[in-house]
Structure 1
Amino acid sequence: MASSHDGSVINHPTASPTKPSFFRSIPFQIAIACGVSFTAPGMWDALGGLGAGGAAEPYAVSAANALVYGLFAAVCIAAGAINNRIGLRYGLALGAIGYPIYGAGLYTNNVAPKTWFLLFGSALCGISAGFFWAAEAAIIIGYPSPKDRAFYLAIWQTAKAAGPIVGGAINLGLNAQTSSKGSVSSATYIVFIVIMCLGLPIALLLSPAEKVQRKDRTLVVVHKQPSWLAEFKAVLSLLVTKRMLLLIPAFFISYFYNGFMSTWLTTYFTVRARAFSSFFTNFSGIISSFLIAGLLDRQSIFIKTRARIAFASIIFILVGTWIWASILQKQFYDAEEPPVFDWFKGGFGKAYTLIFFWQFGGQAFQQFLYWLVGQYTTDISSLSYHCGILRGFEALGQTVAWAMQSEGNANHFVSIGLNFGITILCIVPTWIVLSGLEHSHEITVTAGEGSSTKDQDPDTKA
Structure 2
Amino acid sequence: MIEQRSGSNDHDNDSVSIYERPKGLRGVYYHPITQIVMLAFVCFLCPGMFNALTGLGGGGQVNPTTSANSTCAVYATYAFFAFFSGTVNNKIGAKRTLLFGTLGYALYVGSYLAINIHPGAGWFVVTSGAILGVTAAFLWTAQGAMMLSYCTEAQKGIFISIFWAIFNLGAVVGATVSFGQNIHSTNNSVSNGTYVGILVLTILGVTIPLLMADPDKMIRTDGTRVVMPRHPSWKSEFYGLWVAIITDPMILLLFPMFFASNYFYTWQFNDYNSALFDIRARSLNNFMYWLSQIVGSGIIGVILDSKKLRRRVRAFTGWSILLVMTFVVHVWAYNYQRTYTRATVPPDSQKMDIYDPQYLAHVWLMIFYGLLDAMWQTTSFWLIGAMSNDTNKLAIYSGFYHSIQSAGAAGVWRMDAIRLPYMNIFLSTWCLVVAGLVFSFPMICLRIKDTTVLEDEGLMQRDQEINDTKAKEMIESGNDMP
Q: Which has the higher helix share?
A: 2
| Code of the aligned partner of 1:417 | L
Corresponding residue number in structure 2 for 1:330: 338
* TM-fit CA distance, 1:214: 2.3
Cα distance between partner residues in 2 of 1:414 and 1:129 = 29
Aligned to 1:46: 52
Cα separation, partners in 2 of 1:336 and 1:384, compared to 1, 3 Å:
closer
Letter in 2 for 1:29: Q
Aligned to 2:293: 285
Change over 3 Å in CA distance of 1:451–1:121 after alignment to 2: closer
Which of 257, 272, 275 is the aligned partner of 1:267?
Answer: 275
Within 5 A, what are the aligned runs for 1:57-456?
A: 57-113=63-119, 114-180=121-187, 182-224=188-230, 226-239=232-245, 241-263=248-270, 264-333=272-341, 340-408=351-419, 410-440=420-450, 442-443=451-452
Once residues 13 and 208 of structure 1 are traced to their aligned partners in structure 2, the CA distance between those partners, rounded to angstroms, is: 20
How many aligned residue pairs are there? 434
CA distance in 2, matches of 1:258, 1:21: 40
Contact 1:91 1:135 in 2 (8 A): yes
Please give the residue correspondences for 1:8-23 in structure 2 after superposition, counting only pairs within 5 Å: 15-17=19-21, 19=23, 21-23=27-29
Q: Which runs of 5+ in 2 are unaligned?
A: 1-15, 462-482
Separation in 1, partners of 2:237, 2:393 = 10
SS, match of residue 198 in structure 1: helix
- C-alpha distance after superposition, 1:310-329 (max 9, x if no partner): 11111221222222222211
Question: Could you report, residue by residue, the CA deviation over 1:389-442 in whole angstroms, capped at 9, with x for unpaired residues?
Answer: 11111111111121111124x2111111111111222233200110024552x4
Q: TM-score, normalised by structure 1?
A: 0.89
> How far is the alpha carbon of 1:287 from its aligned partner?
0.9
Which residue is equivalent to 2:470? none
Q: CA deviation at 1:208?
A: 2.5
Which string of whole-angstrom CA distances, capped at 9 and with x for unpartnered residues, describes residues 250-290 of structure 1? 00001211111111211100100011112222121111111
Calculate the TM-score normalised by the size of structure 2.
0.85
Identity across matched positions, percent: 25
Does the CA-based 8 Å contact 1:77-1:391 persist in structure 2?
yes
- Deviation of 1:94 after TM superposition, in Å, equals 0.4
Q: How has the CA–CA distance of structure 1 residues 270 and 234 changed in structure 2, closer, same or farther, with 3 Å as cutoff? A: same
Residues 322 and 419 in structure 1, CA contact (< 8 A), matched pair in contact too: no
Where 2:207 maps in the other structure, the secondary structure is helix
Instruction: Give the match for residue 5 of structure 1.
Output: none
Q: State the superposition RMSD in angstroms.
A: 2.3
**Residue deviations 1:39-92 (CA, integer Å, cap 9, x gap):** 100111111121111111111101100000010011111001101111110111
Alpha-carbon offset, residue 166 of structure 1: 1.0
CA distance in 2, matches of 1:394, 1:274: 25
Q: Could you tell me which residue of structure 2 aligns to residue 25 of structure 1?
A: 31
Q: CA 1:387/1:439 → structure 2, altered by over 3 Å: closer, same or farther?
A: closer
Shift of 1:443: 4.6
1:13 to 1:38, Cα distance in 2 relative to 1, 3 A: farther
SS at match of 1:226: coil
Distance 1:207 1:381, change over 3 A: farther
Q: Do the aligned residues in 2 keep the contact of 1:98 with 1:129 (CA within 8 Å)?
A: yes
* Separation (CA, whole Å) in 2 of partners of 1:384 and 1:307: 21
Once residues 123 and 337 of structure 1 are traced to their aligned partners in structure 2, the CA distance between those partners, rounded to angstroms, is 30
Provide structure 1 residue ranges, at least 5 long, that are not aligned to the other structure: 1-11, 453-462
Offset at 1:333?
4.5
